[in-house]
Amino acid sequence: MLRCWKHSENRLEDAECTDGGSAASPQSHFPHKAFWVSCSASLLLVIIALALTGHLGLSQPPAESLQLVRITASDQTGLLINQSAVVDLQNDLVTFSITSPANQTSTVLFDIKHGLICYKPMDQESCFLRKMEESDYKNVHSLLQESTHKGQIQLSRNETQRQREFLGVLAGSPVDVSTLEGPLQTLCQHSSVHWTRRVDGPGNQRLVYFCIDICFPSNICVSVCFYYLPE
């Protein structure tokens, strides 16, 4: 009788492996030994593969939880706004990539779970944070609904509602990147990070430094404009 192992419901069980006879002859000893070595080697490879698969599954979301949506719209001057959004359903994240006509890309990350928005403008080593508000949740929710049905969305210029938001940058209070959640750390790991707060407008004495246009499937395009508040 030859003793080997079988795999049953995530555990190894002792089992008997026979060659069909009542006893093993000396001539059949070597084939049995070769079979045992082959069985052990195969089992070891399976265990290693399962371990690697489990490790990779923890380090990144499964492919089916990621949805890519492309949104095409026009700005107020008629120039085309090309943007894509990656929806991570498992981690409640939506990442926008907005490409300008000059082929420069800004990134806007909606961390729905923690109620934060992070803006990383093109050609800047800076990130800007603010807390999500009710309108932000509504806009992102429209994208979550569409992401499961469409991969390409074309917004009508005549039907698009255009809004403008002003965010004042609190430059005197930088944020320690290590205190941010994982996705925000990854986006801003080589950048300075600052909080912002919504304001009515920059006023006559303040200069708007840049704006980022974000469009949502609900036919709403928001132009988010930044300027620095006095320290």
Find tokens 């949506």 and name the residue: 69
How far is 128 from 174, CA to CA, in rounded Å?
Answer: 10
**DSSP label at 157?**
T
Which candidate, 204, 209, 205, 213, places its Cα nearest to that of 194? 209
Average pLDDT over residues 205-210: 75
Token pair 């599954």 in the structure block, residue:
57
Q: pLDDT confidence of 187, banded at 50, 70, 90?
A: very high
| pLDDT classification of 63: cutoffs 50, 70, 90 | low
Q: What is the mean pLDDT of residues 5-26?
A: 45
pLDDT > 90: what percent of the chain? 35
Contact between residue 218 and residue 207 where contact means Cβ atoms under 8 Å apart:
no
Confidence (pLDDT) at 222:
92
Band of pLDDT at residue 142, cut at 50, 70 and 90: confident
pLDDT at 5: 45
pLDDT tens for 64-89 read 678 888 988 877 777 777 899 999 98
- Among 113-127, 140-154, 186-200, which stretch is predicted with the lowest mean pLDDT? 140-154
76-80, 136-140, 154-158, 171-175: lowest mean pLDDT where? 76-80
Cα(57)–Cα(53) distance, rounded to whole angstroms? Answer: 6
- Report which residue type is found at 139: N
pLDDT of residue 96: 95
The whole-chain average pLDDT of the chain stands at 76
Exposure string of 10-34, with b = 16+ CB inside 10 Å and e = fewer, is eeeeeeeeeeeeeeeeeeeeeebee
Residue 11 confidence (pLDDT): 44
Question: In which residue are the tokens 């969305």 written?
Answer: 153
| Residue 134 pLDDT exceeds 80 | yes
